[in-house]
């Protein structure tokens, strides 16, 4: 999709601060971080929402979540076998949830205490 911001990032048309990449996922630092660690993880294929991705390729959704965990481990937010100190995964879906780019992306947030409820 030529008009999708994240597709253009995946294609290398727009530079990113990449922190993790697999054959089917890309993770990069958010340009407006909301926590000391704020990384976006996207599938390289375009899928507008989590529901769309799960319907089309459930294995890819698992890869996106695995990439998010790998980012958390690399950023010191978790270990390979434990959740300490912790991190939050967020996937906004639709306008009421604040989705501004209609290409599924997980936010990996951490590095500070994250209150509940969010928003």
Report the catalytic residues. Answer: 105
Say if residues 40 and 28 touch (Cβ distance below 8 Å). yes
- DSSP secondary structure letter of residue 27: E
Beta strands in 46-119 (DSSP E): 88-90, 106-110
Structure tokens given for 62: 């698992």
Taking residue 72's Cβ as centre, other Cβ atoms within 10 Å add up to 24
Distance, CA of 65 to CA of 41 (rounded, Å) = 8
């Amino acid at each position: 999709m030529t008009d999708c911001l994240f597709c253009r990032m995946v294609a290398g048309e727009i530079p990113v601060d990449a922190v993790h990449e697999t054959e089917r996922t890309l993770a990069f630092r958010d340009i407006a971080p909301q926590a000391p660690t704020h990384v976006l993880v996207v599938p390289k294929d375009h899928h507008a929402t989590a529901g769309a991705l799960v319907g089309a390729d459930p294995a890819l959704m698992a890869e996106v979540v695995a990439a998010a965990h790998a980012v958390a481990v690399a950023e010191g937010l978790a270990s390979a076998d434990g959740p300490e100190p912790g991190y939050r995964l967020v996937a906004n879906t639709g306008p009421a949830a604040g989705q501004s780019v209609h290409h599924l992306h997980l936010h990996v947030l951490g590095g500070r205490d994250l209150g509940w409820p969010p928003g």
